[in-house]
Amino acid sequence: MTICKDRVVIVTGAGRGIGRGHALSLAAQGARVVVNDLGAEVDGTGGSIGPAGEVVDAIRAMGGEAIANGDDVSDFDAAGRLVQSAIDQWGRLDVVVNNAGILRDRMLTNMTEAEWDAVIKVHLKGTFGPSHHAAAYWRNRAKAGETNDARIINTSSTSGIFGNPGQTNYGAAKAGIAAFTVIAAQELIRYGVTVNAIAPGALTRMTEGLNPNRPEPKPDEFDRSAPENIAPIVTWLASPESHDVTGRVFLVAGGVLSVAESWRRGPTADKGDRWDPAELGPVVQKLLADAAPNTTMRG
């Protein structure tokens, strides 16, 4: 059974790693895929259409349909061209998977403005651009009396949800993407569009330096760190089966899948009047004593 048969899907950052896994899995399930990738280095420098073309070749070799696209998703107009490329090729667009990203890790005291700006631009603006242009397309269809069964699937991170030292730029962008997901889901449901996100854990070019002593899996052993492990939930979210799921963030790594629970109001004190700063010490201490601690990267 192919759960994404004839779905037209854009996957950004699909030339390598997790994005490549998404593109191949979606194609295996019958989707027609726009494989978008700049072919840049981990820090966002350089570029080549080669990686995207290799994924397209792999999809076509398995009998699927795909085209390569080298547009920069952090460029607003280029993101519009990316969306239009799917419509021009196959007459419509059903799914956008926002996966493109870079890393420029640095402790806050040492981080440069350029390192901050580059990461925020690729992750946050690179999610906004394709989502905006796709949402406008689906809104226009709805206003014209047509129906949509469309999806936006974003990529957040445990670094953004739970926090990780050395990644104030990356974590802030990924936390922003989680919030973007929840809000966009509320806005777009009226047009037949669901919006969800994943927070993946896998061994890729971006993460290989975080745990250099990671043991290699044995030949007959399930590789819990393989980037291809992330694709099943994205493929399912891209399918018609997920039509009633929206505004959620899924944590996925290896064979583990869970749902992130969002910020919620914890212990509360209500004076019924304006607080005097001098009286807040014991009040705050009591609230913190009653509150659950922040969740760590390990959940």
Active-site pick, 85, 137, 159, 170: 170
Tokens read off for 32: 């027609």
Q: Helices 113-120 and 168-188 sit at what angle, rounded to 10 degrees?
A: 30
Whether 239 is catalytic is no
Within 107-171, strands assigned E span 150-155
Phi, psi of 208 (to 5 degrees): -65, -25
Active-site pick, 25, 156, 174, 191: 174
User: Which strand (E) or helix (H) includes residue 256?
Assistant: strand 256-259
CB 62 within 8 A of CB 270: no
d(CA 103, CA 116): 10
Say how many CA atoms lie within 13 Å of 211 toward its Cβ. Answer: 9
Whether 137 is catalytic is no
Contacts of 231 (CB under 8 A, 6+ apart): 18, 21, 22, 24, 25, 26
Whether 157 is catalytic is yes
Active-site pick, 85, 156, 157, 242: 157
d(CA 5, CA 32): 8
Tokens read off for 41: 């280095």
How many other C-beta atoms are found inside a 10 Å radius of the C-beta of residue 286? 12
Burial of 157 (0-12, 13-18, 19+ CB in 10 A): buried
Catalytic residues: 157, 170, 174
